[in-house]
Structure 1
Amino acid sequence: MSITAQSVWNNCLEFIKDNIQPQAYKTWFEPIVAVKLTDNALSIQVPSKFFYEWLEEHYVKILKVSLTKELGENAKLVYIIKMENTYGNKIPFTEKIPSANRTALKSQDVDVPLNNKNPELRNPFVIPGIRNVKIESQLNPNYSFENFLEGDSNRLARSAGLAVAAKPGGTSFNPLLIFGGVGLGKTHLAHAIGVDIKDKYPEKTVLYISAEKFTQQYIDAVKKNNRNDFIHFYQIIDVLIIDDVQFLSGKTGTQDVFFHIFNHLHQNGKQVILTSDKAPVDMQDIEQRLLSRFKWGLSAELQNPDFETRVSILKNKLYRDGVEMPDDIVEYVAKNIKTNVRELEGAIISLIAQSSFNKKEITIDLARIIVEKFVKNTKREVSIDYIQKVVSDYFQMDIDTLQSKTRKRHIVQARQLAMFFAKKFTKASLASIGSQIGKRDHATVLHACKTVDNLSSTDKQFRKYVEDITKKLSI
């Protein structure tokens, strides 16, 4: 039997799997692809430079041992890093990124160079007229890594956050973009990174600001003819955290000024951390040159937490508040509230409050009443799996057929409808929707949504499909 890259890597994986935690294996080794075997050198492809650095830092010994077992003492491991360049197409890089591919980082002009420091620098966070350039971080110390519990839904984002906090501006994930739906912990994680950096590097200037406040400051600066001072102020920040960056959508002046600030910070090795409710590819009315910069680093998605993570979150919340609650009640709440962390904690707070105010013991019956009210007043999020089931049932086909590669018209239309409703009823990214509906890419989902919109306005029968399925999903 001939030795191939895949067979060597499979044997390595068997060894690695037996020697590390299952979750670590799933996160850091399952995404790796064996590419080629040349003499004693095995080439593997990893999803990003972040992966390469993490493997080198945490798993280099076990990789060396496993590969030596397979290929002998002269074994070599070559990393091929799949990452996006500034134009959005994917290029494989080996080991390190050639400097020729980094020219875009150095070619941008910045409005106000730092070598022209103004001793009367205006700080938009202080009262006008008071000369004070001391910058308060605007961070909430209650948002820490300790109370941001790790689970499958957030492991990559949390790991990336820890790596950035350990070496701000010194990793390949700059910017770090954390994206996901409402109440999943984007703001908490962004603050946690900032708080950790302030603890480790007290001399660094860290600033957290919402994109809305940043925009307002820029408008004020333009009114007062202080645009250059505004840019100059943000250029002295070491770690800039901007929350809800999607708020810059359609605001061309603010996008332009942020573009210059971002370039200056990035070129000078400063760290930028962004949060958004959607992935860069799904952002509307954001300039292409800015979106390409968002893709330079790492985009990490926060997803809805699974049952075990929800239980851990609740138990951690109760422990921090010094409250005891029976496990069966905690599990009942976790089982019935699945949408996001904020609603989960809100339900448990309501339960404690009801028990305290009405002097009632916390029981399953009380939990049921609270959860029913809570869920009733909360718009339920329909899952992509449920949407596929509803659409498949409607067209009397099974889900495998819906997800298949066939180009039969009625199956293609059903698949496009499933994608359309997934975009409409869930907060999942286009890439995530495509991945779950037949392993398609985000461009296919975008095309599907446009096709459904067009057919709905021109085809009476198709419009009925949309109306019928909308009713089924809205029940």
Structure 2
Amino acid sequence: MDVTAQSVWTNCLSFIKDNIQPQAYKTWFEPIVAVKLSDNALSIQVPSKFFYEWLEEHYVKILKVALTKQLGETAKLVYVIKMENTYGNKQPFTEKIPSSNRSALKSQDVDVPLNNKNPELKNPFVIPGIRNVKIESQLNPNYSFENFLEGDSNRLARNAGLAVANKPGGTSFNPLLIFGGVGLGKTHLAHAIGVDIKDKYPEKTVLYISAEKFTQQYIDSVKKNNRNDFIHFYQIIDVLIIDDVQFLSGKSGTQDVFFHIFNHLHQNGKQVILTSDKAPVDMQDIEQRLLSRFKWGLSAELQSPDFETRVSILKNKLYRDGVEMPDEIIEYVAKHIKTNVRELEGAIISLIAQSSFNKKEITVNLAKEIVEKFVKNTKREVSIDYIQKVVSDYFQMDVSTLQSKTRKRHIVQARQLAMFFAKKYTKASLASIGSQIGKRDHATVLHACKTVDNLSSTDKQFRKYVEDLSKKLSL
């Protein structure tokens, strides 16, 4: 490599480093290599077309100033775009781009079109019309460990999250897969880990994204022939958080690209955090090679919070909002809303709103009114507790009888139906369903579902049970 080119570029970097954020410098300038200096044109090598477009979009002015300081007004910049051999074009190609003015950048004859103003591909996380100078983490700072209260239902997942936040990529919890039903705090905990990492390690690039958005970006990159840039973008992330990874089910192309990204990150000591509504063992249409990688680290389940935890969650919520409420009201709400944390907090917000807007005193009767309306309005998110109650009422038995160890045929069938509908109407894992319906294991739940399917097709009376219960549960 030409010594002069190196010295010019070193001086440019020194100026650039003083004028941009450290994280942006690390991400976008450290990977650049000076190649040669010829006819007052400095050639720099960048790892992908995406990199080149990002620099051209966001750092052209500072590059122009830095280069002009070193080489004068006639300075030119040549990008040598060298794709990574693993995925891309082995033949590097060059673009001559004068750094003297922005309009010249637009009109120059180059192989890569420079008039594409769509920001989606240049950075998948830029909202159209907004120009970011760094990779935004997409994290919600309101989701913190401080307001994610610990209880028996989440202790393992929360403590594993804290360990990962203290030493991202440096624990055996890589990947960390957090799974559980709707509204139990998977997204909250994933954000909390990311927020804590950003606080402790501001130089690290942390990115939160839903699996649905990741898939859409991948599809767009294929359409626009930018798959290599898409892969490269994700390979430079230090901590990747993907929410609702079960969304990748059946999407073989996205699974394939995620497999390569995951391997790269894992091999380079980067942290991967995933959330899912199912345990790996219950995921359908996910390739075996991906499932095996999900199991490399730790899979931690979030379960429905117990009564004490629900009371603590409500008290914490009220404290944060600066609202006082009698213990009997808090306990009433906690006792009657067991499904998930989201419903729990939603009910208490509704109660506060009713009280303040309608100038009503917060009483048990008002709480009862709100809770009944709230549960009715959120009935579509059917809980396992609710299913057990409906099935028990239908067969005229107590829930405790349904959950008991007895092998009496009519009780066993009722229990199997409860498990069948829990699998059908909730997003809980088989293990979670089993533990809530009489402390059974996931194999028992699987057997119950198969039995219900078989009996429905062979036994007319049993088929009527299924139809009646379906109507009751889908109201």
TM score, norm. by length of structure 2: 0.67
Tell me the CA shift for residue 96 of structure 1.
54
Tell me the CA shift for residue 265 of structure 1.
0.7
Change (3 A) 1:425 1:163: same
Residue 203 of structure 2 aligns with which residue? 203
Deviations 1:196-223 (A, max 9, x none): 0111111111100111111111111111
Residue 450 of structure 1 aligns with which residue? 450
Tell me the CA shift for residue 2 of structure 1.
79
Contact 1:111 1:228 in 2 (8 A): no
Tell me the CA shift for residue 410 of structure 1.
7.3
Partners of 1:391 and 1:30 lie apart in 2 by 63
Deviations 1:295-330 (A, max 9, x none): 111111111111111111111111111112222222
Partners of 1:439 and 1:64 lie apart in 2 by 68
Change (3 A) 1:93 1:373: farther
* Most deviating of 162-171 and 90-99: 90-99
Partners of 1:166 and 1:150 lie apart in 2 by 18
**Aligned length in residues:** 475
Tell me the CA shift for residue 113 of structure 1.
25
Change (3 A) 1:340 1:32: farther
* Most deviating of 234-243 and 325-334: 325-334
Which protein has the larger Cα radius of gyration, Structure 1 or Structure 2? Answer: 2
Contact 1:329 1:364 in 2 (8 A): yes
* Most deviating of 456-465 and 123-132: 123-132
Change (3 A) 1:335 1:137: same
Contact 2:88 2:228 in 1 (8 A): no
Partners of 1:118 and 1:15 lie apart in 2 by 30
Structure 1 stretches lacking a partner, 5+ long: none
Partners of 1:234 and 1:127 lie apart in 2 by 18
Contact 1:111 1:260 in 2 (8 A): no
| Identity over aligned pairs, percent | 93
Partners of 1:189 and 1:78 lie apart in 2 by 45
* Most deviating of 155-164 and 427-436: 427-436
Change (3 A) 1:418 1:118: closer
Contact 1:87 1:292 in 2 (8 A): no
Change (3 A) 1:372 1:125: same
What SS class does the counterpart of residue 91 from structure 1 fall into?
coil
Change (3 A) 1:365 1:35: farther
Contact 1:121 1:233 in 2 (8 A): no
Tell me the CA shift for residue 57 of structure 1.
47
* Most deviating of 92-101 and 295-304: 92-101
Partners of 1:115 and 1:449 lie apart in 2 by 57
Residue 111 of structure 2 aligns with which residue? 111
Change (3 A) 1:97 1:261: farther
Contact 1:120 1:131 in 2 (8 A): no
Partners of 1:162 and 1:438 lie apart in 2 by 32
Change (3 A) 1:21 1:323: farther
Tell me the CA shift for residue 368 of structure 1.
2.2
Deviations 1:281-308 (A, max 9, x none): 2222222221221111111111111111
Tell me the CA shift for residue 47 of structure 1.
43
Contact 1:175 1:298 in 2 (8 A): yes
Contact 1:218 1:227 in 2 (8 A): yes
Contact 1:84 1:295 in 2 (8 A): no
Change (3 A) 1:384 1:372: closer
What's the RMSD between the two structures over aligned residues? 19.8
Tell me the CA shift for residue 391 of structure 1.
6.2
* Most deviating of 45-54 and 198-207: 45-54
Residue 317 of structure 2 aligns with which residue? 317
* Most deviating of 191-200 and 455-464: 455-464
Change (3 A) 1:7 1:232: closer
Tell me the CA shift for residue 3 of structure 1.
75
Deviations 1:229-285 (A, max 9, x none): 000110111100011111112222111111111111111111110111121222222
Residue 357 of structure 2 aligns with which residue? 357
Change (3 A) 1:22 1:163: farther
* Most deviating of 310-319 and 73-82: 73-82
Partners of 1:290 and 1:302 lie apart in 2 by 22
